[in-house]
A = this chain, B = another copy of it.
Amino acid sequence: MRDALFRGMTRFSDFQRSLGLASNVLAKRLDGFVENGLMEQRVHPEHPDQQEYVPTDKGRDLKPVVLALTAWGDRWAAPNGPPVTFEHEGCGGKVEAHLLCLKCGRSPDLAHVVAKPTRSRRRRS
């Protein structure tokens, strides 16, 4: 998902080169993404003999999750330093996931973020 989301990768052969996975393992994983609505499978426009895998809106919405998880990994599980950084295309700035309080506008201390059960669970129309 990360290669697809952040590097614009779409082709089976490119995912395989990037991830170094066996074909059957990669195929199973990509099929899983398609089944779960995270990717769409379609014929590659320039290589009609090949399929491409393109993230759906549901898949693209995982970007903030990948950023947050990568930040955690950079801090706690990257003895050789972060493998990638995330960049604001065009602007060139570094992009990070931050917590934001919608009321006071500040980034709250992690110790002061608590979960509250939602009182009225409404049906989505």
Contact = CB atoms under 8 A, between A and B. Distances in A.
A87 B89 CA distance: 32
A24 to B, nearest CB: 26
Interface string A53-96: 00000101111110111011001101111111111111111111
Q: For the complex formed by this chain, how many copies does it contain in all? A: 2
Contacts of A67: 68, 99, 113
A108 B88 contact: yes
Interface of A: 2, 6-8, 37, 58, 60-65, 67-69, 71-72, 75-76, 78-104, 106, 108, 110-118, 120-124
Contacts of A80: 121-124
B76 A116 contact: no
Nearest to A118: B82
A63 to B, nearest CB: 5
Contacts of A71: 64
A28 to B, nearest CB: 22
Given A88-B101, A91-B101, A110 B61 contact: yes
A114 B96 contact: no
